[in-house]
Amino acid sequence: MDPIRIAVVGMGKIARDQHLPAIAGDTAFSLAATVSPHDKGIDGVPHLESLEDLLAKGPAVDAVALCTPPQVRYDLAKMALTRGVHVFLEKPPGATLSEVDALTERARRAGASLFAAWHSRFAAGVAPARAWLADRHVTSVAIVWREDVRVWHPGQAWIWEPGGLGVFDPGINALSIATHILPRPFFLRRGVLQRPENRSAPIAADLVFCDTAGTKITMDLDWRQTGPQSWDITVETDAGTLKLSRGGSVLTLPSGTEHSEDREYAGLYARFATLIRTGRSDVDTSPLKLVADAFLRAKREIVEPFNE
């Protein structure tokens, strides 16, 4: 079977750190081109300044991975899907829920695969955590997702603009795990968003969710963490405590702790290849819905300016 010819659109940190190595390590794909008006690409691979140029002039591609900021992703995805090209959407899948719905329908009509890629769901501890929780009674959940924005998003002004999500850019990773492993749906009850007076998006959030059985789920997000970073989900159950740490790569159960190799993006590309080969799409918007609900329902507090 011939490899899937894929182009990476947007050549920022996530593309270079994660997408290019994952594609290089997966025989189901071949890197046909890179696209960016701000980057020269990589040696030996055709590079174009726009997706429009790529689709008009070649080289031919079967799929694109959109690694651009979410605010511009809809137009790019629409352009590709209209031509029957399969689309991999970096997280979050779009700047709004409505545009993701529109892309889902366009993919269906075009007969192309659309993949909303929640990379944290492919962390090593997530699948076994989901399986262990399936038969347990959950009594409480605490999510603590604190990191230093200066380390993980240096100079990325777009992330502070409307549609960039602010602290929910990492926070949505935690929500993508929680919506996947917890046995019941959950929704927002109350919350507080802290927004720097010189930014449009929040730098911290304190949220309280509730699942359909009344179980309390708390979420502590902060982009001002220095020193050790915190990416932890702790689930109390009738059979003891489950903890996912290091973003889901380390799972601790009452029976002990499991450490596994980070293969999130390898898992994403294996899933994307399967979707393409079987003519299906995978577009779960539940994490983005919870973020939208936070912007709808949580209180706002203005805090001191943030400057890099």
Q: Are residues 51 and 96 in the same domain?
A: yes
296 and 153 assigned to the same domain: yes
Residue 278: inside a domain: no
pLDDT in tens, 169-185: 999 999 999 999 999 99
Same domain, 127 and 219: yes
| 285 is a domain residue | no
**Rounded to an integer, what distance in angstroms lies between the CA atom of residue 34 and that of residue 46?**
6
Q: pLDDT-derived band of residue 187, with 50, 70 and 90 as boundaries?
A: very high
Same domain assignment for residues 127 and 248: yes
Distance CA 125, CA 114 (A): 25
Q: How do residues 4-53 score in pLDDT, each as one tens digit?
A: 999 999 999 999 999 999 999 999 999 999 999 988 899 999 999 999 99
DSSP string, 220-251: EEESB--SS-EEEEEEEETTEEEEEEGGGTEE
Query: Which residues are designated catalytic?
Result: 91
Residues 60 and 127 in one domain: no
For residue range 284-308, list pLDDT tens digits in order. Answer: 999 999 999 999 999 999 999 999 8
Dist CA 276 CA 113 (whole Å): 6
Same domain, 174 and 140: yes
In a shared domain, residues 298 and 168: yes
Give the pLDDT band of residue 263 (cuts 50, 70, 90). confident
The pLDDT of residue 1 is: 82
Rounded mean pLDDT, 147-157:
93
- Which of 51-55, 79-83, 256-260 shows the lowest mean pLDDT across its residues? 256-260
Q: What is the pLDDT of residues 197-220, one digit of tens each?
A: 999 999 999 999 999 999 999 999
User: What residue numbers bound the domain in which 148 lies?
Assistant: 123-259+292-303
